Structure 1
């Protein structure tokens, strides 16, 4: 695997620091929207009692809790570079590992489920990491990857919303290496790793004024304001207009969605 992005930036270090007073609230706002979709898919794939599960990028532990309390997993390994969000989660079936997924010496293998959501998109080595994760599956085990995918309105290139969203993706890429352009390739990568029963789906949640997803984007843009302006795509007034639009009854957008891909080790 290669090293960090050329910028030297890291999620949780150069952007979205976990110690920020609003960071847990920001993450949980997105979890309110995406957790039901994620857990519904995991359930449909057979995640249940007796499973040994790896949750990559465990965050505040919402999916970890579901695996323990609802799915009845035999063991859950929660992996993250910063595991402070898991403080207070006590269960003898939970093992918390504070480490970087890109550490080539890391070997946690033997899982019936490996799940990562909104993780690989922030790591330039995402293709290599799929090769790293697939061998950790037990026979019959499932790899489930979820990342953001946008379906932008091709007729809108100039609104404050569109320019701010575009500036965000540009700033994320230049700062910490985020790139969603190859997210649709995940099913192909899984097939290349020898996984079977490969499939994928795209869920675009409603973006409703005052809703949790609008709050998530508002907090994200507010936190990134200096980086957004540095791209040259937006100024402070445009960001203010975009934020007001997110809170307005005029809001009518198909916001970024969650694309999930999965495959089974034979």
Structure 2
């Protein structure tokens, strides 16, 4: 059956959109501290070879390059135009790469990280199996995807209604699956990874980077919000004012993370995450 969805970044949230760099930079400001904490808990070593799938504006790939000075970091995206190569460290390689069709040799990387990517891939299970093959024995995979559950309990009716509509439109237009992460980390264990774990975090909107990112996300699909859910321009403007107001507090999307290790070669020590 031929899908009628359009993959993430091909139309919706394309890097060429005027506000996309600002939106991704705001998302990075919100979630990078969580990601860095999770990566540090995996025990990064200076000689690791790392892969970032869907590097966005490149903040995490750049950080990894500073942590692995005698290794290398490969930052990939469908469109790498938002990753600045100014002052790029020599161990950071930036390439355009589509994980659904492109490949890497087996056993290439000690660490693979991806944030808010797999949820948008209709072939997410197949790509996960590929990513596990790209791991070296003893290597770690860290996946972070969206958890929508903070919206279900929001006491703010307009915020809840618009936010849930945003996710519904992404599901309809791009085939995104925001429930996939709630099965973490069973998908990793099913692919043979060990020492798995799971963690979730959520950040507040208001006068915050998360508020800015979520406003830009909703405004990007304003026409769909009106057509599919009857959300008017007046309501969207009120929503935008609300979620960037310093007097408004509510939780936004959660980042659900799962990690696991490819079993090391027999006889070699296994480095276990502290969680």
TM-score w.r.t. the length of structure 2 is: 0.88
Residue 55 of structure 1 corresponds to which residue in structure 2?
Answer: 52
Give the root-mean-square deviation of aligned CA atoms: 2.0
In the other structure, the counterpart of 1:136 is: 134
Shift of 1:241: 2.1
Go from structure 1 to structure 2 and tell me whether the alpha carbon gap of 1:213 and 1:137 turns closer, same or farther (over 3 Å shift): same
Q: CA deviation at 1:34?
A: 0.8
- Paired position in structure 2 for 1:18: 15
Change (3 A) 1:154 1:38: closer
Quote the Cα distance in structure 2 between the aligned partners of 1:179 and 1:118: 11
Call closer, same or farther: CA 1:73–1:234 in 2, change over 3 Å.
farther
Unaligned runs of 5+ in 1: none
Give structure 2 stretches of 5+ with no counterpart: 264-275
Alignment deviations for residues 86-132 of structure 1 (CA, whole Å, 9 cap, x no partner): 242533312222121100x5224411000000100111111222111
Shift of 1:199: 0.3
74-83 vs 15-24, greater mean Cα deviation: 15-24
Aligned to 1:195: 193
The structure 2 residue matched to 1:93, chosen from 91, 94, 106, is 91
The match for 2:61 among 51, 60, 64 is 64
How many residues align structurally? Answer: 261
Greater mean deviation of Cα atoms: 227-236 or 42-51: 227-236
Conservation of the 8 A alpha-carbon contact between 2:154 and 2:160 = yes
1:204, distance to aligned residue in structure 2 (A) = 1.1
Cα displacement string for residues 174-209 of structure 1 (whole angstroms, at most 9, x for unaligned residues): 1111111121213001111111000010011232x2
Shift of 1:41: 1.0
Contact kept? 1:52, 1:75, Cα under 8 Å: yes
Displacement of 1:48 in angstroms is 2.5
Q: Is the 8 A contact 2:73 2:91 kept in 1?
A: yes
TM-score (norm 1): 0.91
Give the alignment partner of residue 178 of structure 1, picking from 170, 176, 180: 176
Q: Distance in 2 between matches of 1:42 and 1:196?
A: 16
Asked if 1 retains the 8 angstrom alpha-carbon contact of 2:151 and 2:252, the reply is: no
